[in-house]
Amino acid sequence: MSKPIVMSPQQWESVFATIKNREKRSVWLSRSKMKEVLGFTVRHHDEWVKEDRPQEEISWWTEQEGWYKGKRHEHTVRLDFYDEQKRTVFLLKYGNGQN
């Protein structure tokens, strides 16, 4: 398995709209068919990442003791590829979701 492509939900929506226009409906409706034809599966990923801002700019929520202190929630969409060549074709076709 090759390195996943990480993008924001907005980038994924743009790429997915293009996939809907280019591919048959059966390809983008079925996870297994998407893996077979396009070479990837979609995974929504949530994580808490360390906040880069100075402590005085961080809201009261992150100032509390515990897991959330100094961290922020981040949601990303990850495309897990199973074939390096299909990953390369995806990057050429869809440009990693950038407009």
The pLDDT, as a whole number, for residue 98 is 53
pTM: 0.73
Q: Which residues contact 72 (CB under 8 A, 6 or more apart)?
A: 48, 49, 51, 62
Residue 31 has φ and ψ, to the nearest 5°, of -60, -45
The pLDDT, as a whole number, for residue 33 is 93
Q: What is the mean pLDDT of each run of 10 residues along the chain (99 residues)?
A: 88 93 92 92 87 58 54 87 92 71
